Amino acid sequence: MATPMKEEVEARGLFSQGVKAVLGSWPVLQIAVENGFGGAYSQEKADWMVGAVEQFFQSNADLDPEEVDDFLAEVMNNEFDTVIEDGSLSQVSRQLCLFFSQCQQGNGAAVQEAIARLAQKQQEARAVAAKAVAAEESSSEEEEETEEEAMECSSNGAQPSPPPPSDPGPEDGWTVVRKKKK
């Protein structure tokens, strides 16, 4: 039989994994990190955020999702200059509250299952993103090839037209250019 202290340590560790999984699969945070909204240390800030969220839950009893919303919104605004308006904030907050509650009740199996689902979704999203990037790169390569072919066609066999005849002008150094006679 596990001791209460050991159960608490396991619950905290599992909650930590849950927080990391939820934040790691949150598109808003991932976009902020990938695009450097938090500056040069965006990834470090995202890693720090996991610990900050854990500490927020450990330090505050009976949090409701709205309080977590406010906390996450403040962190995202302060650290990543990002205001979240896509509705994902409430989803993330509810998921975190559910994980915390399940960990406190000793329902680690449900949390582990949810973490596995989040990891699967994250892998699928990366695969889709990789395919989109590959498709974008191949289409831009095709555009470049088409442009090069067009440039080759216009220069192959075509001789540049001779400059129009010019007459030396007055002594001031100007040259008069006239239309070519037909």
| Assigned domain for 157 exists | no
| Assigned domain for 158 exists | no
* pLDDT tens-digit readout, 73-95: 999 999 999 999 999 999 999 99
Is the distance from CB of 164 to CB of 179 less than 8 angstroms? yes
Angle of helix 27-34 versus helix 65-80 axis, rounded to 10: 10
- Cα–Cα distance, 162 to 115 (Å, whole number): 73
Residue 165 CA, chain-centre distance (Å), reads 60
| Assigned domain for 29 exists | yes
| Assigned domain for 24 exists | yes
According to DSSP H, which parts of the chain are helical?
A: 4-24, 27-34, 42-59, 65-80, 88-104, 108-155
* pLDDT tens-digit readout, 142-164: 666 666 666 665 555 555 555 55
| DSSP-derived secondary structure letter, 159 | P
- Cα–Cα distance, 160 to 174 (Å, whole number): 24
| Assigned domain for 167 exists | no
- In this predicted structure, the answer to whether residue 9 has a pLDDT above a threshold of 60 is yes
Is the distance from CB of 169 to CB of 176 less than 8 angstroms? yes
Q: How many domains does the chain fold into? A: 1
| Residue 90 lies in domain | 4-119
* pLDDT tens-digit readout, 112-147: 999 899 888 878 777 777 777 777 777 766 666 666
* pLDDT tens-digit readout, 14-26: 999 999 999 999 9
pLDDT tier for residue 175 given thresholds of 50, 70 and 90 = confident
- Cα–Cα distance, 12 to 108 (Å, whole number): 10
| Assigned domain for 171 exists | no
| Assigned domain for 74 exists | yes
| Assigned domain for 63 exists | yes
